[in-house]
Each structure stands twice: as C-alpha cells, then as structure tokens.
Amino acid sequence: MNAPLVDIEGLRFAYPGAASPALDGLDLQVAEGEAVALVGPNGSGKSTLARLIAGLAVPDGARRAVVCGHDLLDARGRLDARRDVGILFQDPENQLVAEDVEADVAFGLENLGWAAERMKARVEEMLAAFSLEHLRERAPHLLSGGQKQRTALAGVLAIPRRVLVLDEPTAMLDPGGREDVLAAVRRVRADGLATVYVTQEMGEVGLADRVVALERGAAVFDGRPRELFADLALVGRLQLGLPPAAEVALALAGRRETGRALPLTLDELVGLLMGSGA
C-alpha cells in the first residue's frame, strides 16, 4: 500500500495576532487518485489548509505534515510541494499574468525552464484538453469568468502535478461559467489526479469520493458524502445545507424522516421519484 499523497496529522497554524488558530490539530489524508471535498462554515480554515497543502504557508507545527513525500515543516519540502501540488483559487482575476491565453498556459513551464519544443507540445496538449484553442490569442481581460478559470487551470496543470487543490473555483462564476469549470474539473478527475476540492456548493460534494468537514480548524467529519448528508444534525450545526436534489426530496416528503437515503444528484432524485411511483 502506497503512502497517502497528503498525510497530515495534528496540523497547527495561526495568523499573526489572531485570537484563535486557523488550524488547530487538523488531520487529512488523501490517497492517490482520490477526490476529497472539503467543506465547512466560513472561517473554519479551508483556504488556510489549501494554501498549506500547496506549500504556500509555513505551518506552526504538526505531528506529521507530508505532501507527495515532501515535509511541509521543512523549507525545502515546501518548495518541492509547490512543484507537485497545483492550486486554483476562487477569484478568476489575479490568476492570469500573461498577455494572452497561450502565453498564460505556458507561463509556469517557462519559469521552470522547459525547452521550447517540449513546452510548445505541452501547451498545445493543455489548450486542447481544456477547449481553449479558439481563445489562444485572447487577452485575459476579454475572457468570461469561466474561461478565465479554465485558462488558469490549464496553466496550473501544464506542470505535471500529483495533487490538485481547488479553493471554491466556481464561487464567483455565473451558472454557465460554473458548469464550464465543473466539466473541466470532472475531466481532470477522470484522469485520476488526486483532488482536494473546497466548496460551499453541496450539489458539488456528491462528485467526491470522500468529504471532510472542518469546524474551527479541525476535521469533525471524514467519510462518504452520503454519510455526511444522512447526519442532518451535523449538517445543521455546520450550516452546510443539503444538495439541491436532497432538498427537493425532503420537501416532497413533507420534511418527514423517510428512513431512506437522501438523493444527492438530480439522477438519484429522478430515480427515487420514478421508483416511488410519484
């Protein structure tokens, strides 16, 4: 059995001057090829954890904090983690730095000193994978929000990664842009890359193999999405809400305890309704 790609135990981090730590004994493990959703109320430490996993902040301490074999407690380890872990942020602005889409996708590779031929081939591959070929000469400020996120993702993944962290990548997008970025994330998933997906959209949590819920800087749930949404008391305490399909099913059942698992996707909801003869 391989060691998990993300192997964190008892991670602590406090912002200077903060009254309480942002991460307070956090545990998280992510295996190769696994998709983990990270949820929790505002301020529970999701973004802080995302940045730490990507080697972008210095932990105060941990019993163990190893990412892709690199020790986050060590400066050299954090640098190496930055190479293996890609991160996509919420804000579609400020993530694109070059004059057009093609140059942006190439940017990270250029910094790593890839040879021109190899870089060109890799950029073409990414433009094709993220349906950006027709936008290659477009300036970032002329892109839609969804196109910006797709371009940023193509740039992040142009560098071969072992883990991808996504910090609410659809939160600032309109519904069309959201679908656009979700489709791109699904393709990445299909390729088997390990992902840590921070989201407040419970409809997106069903896509994950596992969901970890944070509360005040610690993981208070770690299990299957279905198990999380079966615990309505915890869902309520963390103010997570339910996937839209589950909301509909509960409303139809008159909010009675039906004893049946709540549907998490539209397909499951339709299946439930057809099966019940409704």
Ligand X SMILES: Nc1ncnc2c1ncn2[C@@H]1O[C@H](COP(=O)(O)OP(=O)(O)O)[C@@H](O)[C@H]1O
What torsion do the CA atoms of 21, 28, 7, 66 make, to the nearest 10 degrees? -30
Q: Give whichever of 42 and 111 is closer to ligand X, judged by the CB atom.
A: 42
> Rounded to the nearest whole angstrom, what is the least distance from the CB of residue 47 to Mg ion in the complex?
3
Q: Give whichever of 26 and 132 is closer to ligand X, judged by the CB atom.
A: 26
The partner in contact with residue 48, picked from Mg ion, ligand X, none with C-beta cut-offs of 5 to 8 angstroms by kind, is: ligand X
Q: Give whichever of 51 and 138 is closer to Mg ion, judged by the CB atom.
A: 51
Asked whether position 199 contacts Mg ion by CB under 5 A, the answer is no
Asked whether position 47 contacts Mg ion by CB under 5 A, the answer is yes
Asked whether position 2 contacts ligand X by CB under 6 A, the answer is no
- Give the range of 38-46, 99-107, 152-160, 258-266 binding ligand X by CB under 6 A: 38-46
Interface with ligand X (CB under 6 A), residue from 45, 108, 203, 243: 45
Task: Determine the size of the site formed for ligand X (CB under 6 A).
Answer: 11
The partner in contact with residue 44, picked from ligand X, Mg ion, none with C-beta cut-offs of 5 to 8 angstroms by kind, is: ligand X
Asked whether position 22 contacts ligand X by CB under 6 A, the answer is yes
Q: Binding marks (x or -) toward ligand X, 165..204, rule CB under 6 A? A: ----------------------------------------
Q: C-alpha angle 40/77/217, rounded to 5°?
A: 20
- Give the range of 39-47, 114-122, 155-163, 184-192 binding ligand X by CB under 6 A: 39-47
Distance CA 183, CA 193 (A): 15
Q: Give whichever of 18 and 115 is closer to ligand X, judged by the CB atom.
A: 18
> Rounded to the nearest whole angstrom, what is the least distance from the CB of residue 51 to Mg ion in the complex?
10
> Rounded to the nearest whole angstrom, what is the least distance from the CB of residue 42 to ligand X in the complex?
5
- Give the range of 35-43, 110-118, 123-131, 177-185 binding ligand X by CB under 6 A: 35-43
The partner in contact with residue 206, picked from ligand X, Mg ion, none with C-beta cut-offs of 5 to 8 angstroms by kind, is: none
CB 37 within 8 A of CB 203: no
DSSP string, the chain: -PPPSEEEEEEEE--TT-SS-SEEEEEEEE-TT-EEEEE-STTSSHHHHHHHHTT-S--SB-SEEEETTEETTSHHHHHHHHHHEEEE-S-STTS--SSSHHHHHHHHHHHTT--HHHHHHHHHHHHHHTT-GGGTT--GGGS-HHHHHHHHHHHHHHS--SEEEEESTTTTS-HHHHHHHHHHHHHHHHTT-EEEEE-S-HHHHTTSSEEEEEETTEEEEEE-HHHHHH-HHHHHHTT----HHHHHHHHHTTT---SSPPP-SHHHHHHHHHHTT-
Asked whether position 48 contacts ligand X by CB under 6 A, the answer is yes
Could you list the residues that contact Mg ion (CB under 5 A)?
46-47
